[in-house]
Amino acid sequence: MSDMLWRPKGRHDLASFESEICAHCLDRNGEGDWEDEFGNDMPGQCVLIHYAFVGPTLQWTIKDGKRDCSCFVEDPDNPARCPRTLEMFP
């Protein structure tokens, strides 16, 4: 069975995905912070998030019944924790 594409249903769904997956990704800031044409500091963000509502993002799928991003690289300084063991560790 092939993976199905996942697309957020709304801003709340995207925020949930960001906190569950993107927050633990090494590339969550994309190319890093940048300065716009008016000299304002702009926070970097993964380019996939910008295209989330435009159309299907081929990197976001449903895999084994869970949302997944094929570009995800776990940040060693901010690893994702297993939801089954959250209470075991401080």
pLDDT digits (tens, 9 = 90+) for 10-55: 889 989 998 888 888 887 766 667 777 888 887 777 878 878 778 7
Show the beta-strand stretches assigned E in 1-90: 4-5, 34-35, 41-42, 60-63, 66-69
pLDDT of 84 above 70:
no
Which ranges of 8-90 does DSSP label H, i.e. alpha helix? 11-20, 47-50
pTM of the model: 0.68
